[in-house]
Amino acid sequence: TFNRKFGDTFVIPEPQISDQMEIVPGIDGKKMSKSYGNILDIFQSDKKLRKNIMSIQTDSLALEDPKDPSTCNVFKLFELLGSDEEVQALRKAYLGGNYGYGHAKQELYELIIGKYAIIRERYSYFMENKNEIDQALEIGALKARNVASDVLKRVRTKIGY
Please give the span between the terminal C-alpha atoms of the chain, in angstroms, as a whole number: 18
Instruction: For residue 34, give the DSSP letter.
Output: G
Share of the chain above pLDDT 70, in %: 97
What pTM did the predictor assign?
0.78
Contact between 77 and 105 under an 8 Å Cβ cutoff? The reply is no
Q: Which residues contact 68 (CB under 8 A, 6 or more apart)?
A: 94
Residues 106-125: what's their mean pLDDT? 98
CB atoms within 10 A of CB 115: 14
Q: What is the pLDDT of residue 16?
A: 80
When pLDDT is averaged across residues 77-90 and rounded to a whole number, the result is 97
- The helix/strand/coil state of 31 is strand
